[in-house]
């Protein structure tokens, strides 16, 4: 099977497995796991923040990231298709007692000009804004990268109003690879960042939350409350260190494969995608022209050895990652072409649409 469902499916590399087997460990709830401590310090250093916290999942990292900046009864401004709003089981409501104030940004990139109009003071009818949340890269906007100037403008505006900014940087290193800039520069002004070790960076488990030292001290208590106080977690952190140190440098391969897939898909009659919009390792294409819905198209691909998830009634998402080669991308394109051709027997196959 060629698995293009997500970059979460990557398996730990042989080097990660060796590091896990040999990891020096201790009880991390006592703060005594040297490998976890090293990972937290390195993550903070690489992101240019004071301190870091190793968490089991990105969802826990975002949940804590929202909690440390907000009070119950506040609003969190976020993009309408953001992960925190749509895919985290309403944790900002359940755990932090906050209401999302979603704003649609067509390209997934929130801008200060939109955000500033939605900031609310406490009033007889309003819940005050407690936090601004931005997602970089933006998953459901096709891996879109927020320009650093846009992020900085949001942070400057927010800070002037006494508000903090949390970045869901699940794929921040993909954004950094696309921009060719260090991740610390992309996150220089945000107050906290969550990023995943377990996606494109290939670690089996784990995400990082980084920010100010006092905020991370409080974050550590929330992690324990949520059941994330792990003991000899150095076994996991050892893989995380390799993910952090070595894997960012190869993300451009995934980006090149995603662009290759997008260009191939754009040449298949019945499918529609703008390859110029594919910046990182995520792409969406529309299957309406084939006469199939996305569920049927996804099933047809599975029958041909390719896994890709339907997202919405007409759209399929593909994600490239460490365990997908260029040859597998070529095979996947062949499967898409065969499927589209079978669905539209009146056509001969590849037709230039432009
Ligand atoms: C994957 C992801 C997360 C966190 O996911 P977990 O599965 O909980 O690790 C958060 N935000 C975005 C944008 C993601 O893609």
- pLDDT tens-digit profile of 124-179? 999 999 999 999 999 999 999 999 999 999 999 999 999 999 999 999 999 999 99
Give me the percent of the chain exceeding a pLDDT of 90.
Answer: 96
Give me the percent of the chain exceeding a pLDDT of 70.
Answer: 98
Please give the average per-residue pLDDT across 230-246, as a whole number. 98
**pLDDT tens-place string over residues 241-265:** 999 999 999 999 999 999 999 999 9
pLDDT of residue 345: 78
- Take atom 3 of ligand 1 and give the residue whose Cα is closest: 58
Predicted confidence band of residue 350 (pLDDT cuts 50, 70, 90)? low
8 Å CB contact between 316 and 297: yes
8 Å CB contact between 223 and 60: yes
Residue with tokens 């999302």: 100
Reference 158, options 129, 187, 136, 127; nearest CA is 129
Whether the per-residue pLDDT at 300 is higher than 90: the answer is yes
Q: Which H or E run contains 131?
A: strand 129-135
Predicted confidence band of residue 90 (pLDDT cuts 50, 70, 90)? very high
Whether the per-residue pLDDT at 351 is higher than 60: the answer is no
Q: Which of 83, 92, 134 to mutate to test the pocket of ligand 1 (most atoms within 8 A of CB)?
A: 83
**pLDDT tens-place string over residues 177-217:** 999 999 999 999 999 999 999 999 999 999 999 999 999 99
Name the residue ranges covered by the structural domains of the chain: 12-247, 250-343
Whether the per-residue pLDDT at 347 is higher than 70: the answer is no
Whether the per-residue pLDDT at 120 is higher than 90: the answer is yes
Reference 183, options 19, 39, 283, 42; nearest CA is 42
Reference 14, options 4, 6, 2, 22; nearest CA is 22
- Take atom 2 of ligand 1 and give the residue whose Cα is closest: 170
- On average, the pLDDT of the chain sits at 96
pLDDT of residue 348: 54
Residue 93 in tokens: 């409501």
Q: Is the CB of 96 under 6 A from ligand 1?
A: no
Pairwise CA distance, residues 243 & 264, whole Å: 30
CA-CA-CA-CA torsion for 255, 260, 264, 270, nearest 10 degrees? 0
Q: Which of 5, 58, 89 to mutate to test the pocket of ligand 1 (most atoms within 8 A of CB)?
A: 58
For helices 251-266 and 326-343, the axis angle rounded to 10 degrees is 20
Whether the per-residue pLDDT at 10 is higher than 80: the answer is yes
By the 10 Å C-beta count (0-12 exposed, 13-18 middle, 19+ buried), 264 is classed as buried
Pairwise CA distance, residues 153 & 73, whole Å: 26
Q: Is the CB of 57 under 6 A from ligand 1?
A: yes
**pLDDT tens-place string over residues 303-340:** 999 999 999 999 999 999 999 999 999 999 999 999 99
Q: Is the CB of 309 under 6 A from ligand 1?
A: no
Selecting from 3.20.20.105, 3.40.640.10, 3.40.50.1820, 1.20.140.10, what CATH number does the domain 12-247 have? Answer: 3.40.640.10
Pairwise CA distance, residues 45 & 58, whole Å: 19
pLDDT of residue 183: 98
Q: Is the CB of 168 under 6 A from ligand 1?
A: yes
Q: Which of 6, 59, 79 to mutate to test the pocket of ligand 1 (most atoms within 8 A of CB)?
A: 59
pLDDT of residue 354: 45
SS3 315: strand
Please give the average per-residue pLDDT across 22-33, as a whole number. 98
Fold assignment, 250-343: 3.90.1150
């Amino acid at each position: 099977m060629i698995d293009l469902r997500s970059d979460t499916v990557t398996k730990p590399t042989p080097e990660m497995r060796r590091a896990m087997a040999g990891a020096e460990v201790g009880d991390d709830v006592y703060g005594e796991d040297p490998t976890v401590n090293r990972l937290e310090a390195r993550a903070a250093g690489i992101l240019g923040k004071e301190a870091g916290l190793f968490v089991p999942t990105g969802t826990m990292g975002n949940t804590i990231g929202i909690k440390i900046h907000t009070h119950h009864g506040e609003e969190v401004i976020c993009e309408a298709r953001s992960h925190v709003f749509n895919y985290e089981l309403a944790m900002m409501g359940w755990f932090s007692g906050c209401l999302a104030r979603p704003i649609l940004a067509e390209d997934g990139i929130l801008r200060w000009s939109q955000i500033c109009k939605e900031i609310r003071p406490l009033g007889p009818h309003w819940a005050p804004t407690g936090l601004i949340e931005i997602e970089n890269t933006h998953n459901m906007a096709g891996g879109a990268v927020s320009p650093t100037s846009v992020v900085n403008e949001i942070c400057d505006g927010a800070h002037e109003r006494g508000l903090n900014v949390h970045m869901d940087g699940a794929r921040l290193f993909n954004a950094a690879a696309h921009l060719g800039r260090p991740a610390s520069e992309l996150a220089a002004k945000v107050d906290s960042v969550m990023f995943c070790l377990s996606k494109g960076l290939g670690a089996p488990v784990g995400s990082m939350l980084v920010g100010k030292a006092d905020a991370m001290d409080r974050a550590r208590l929330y992690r324990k409350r949520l059941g994330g106080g792990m003991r000899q977690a150095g076994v996991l952190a050892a893989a995380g260190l390799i993910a952090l140190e070595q894997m960012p440098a190869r993300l451009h391969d995934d980006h090149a494969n995603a662009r290759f897939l997008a260009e191939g898909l754009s040449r298949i009659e019945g499918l529609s995608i703008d390859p110029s919009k594919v910046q990182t390792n995520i792409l969406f294409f529309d299957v309406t022209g084939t006469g199939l819905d996305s569920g049927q198209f996804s099933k047809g691909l599975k029958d041909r050895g390719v896994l890709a998830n339907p997202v919405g009634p007409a759209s399929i998402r593909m994600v490239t990652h460490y365990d997908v080669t260029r040859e597998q991308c070529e095979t996947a394109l062949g499967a898409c072409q065969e499927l589209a051709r079978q669905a539209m027997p009146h056509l001969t196959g590849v037709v230039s649409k432009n």
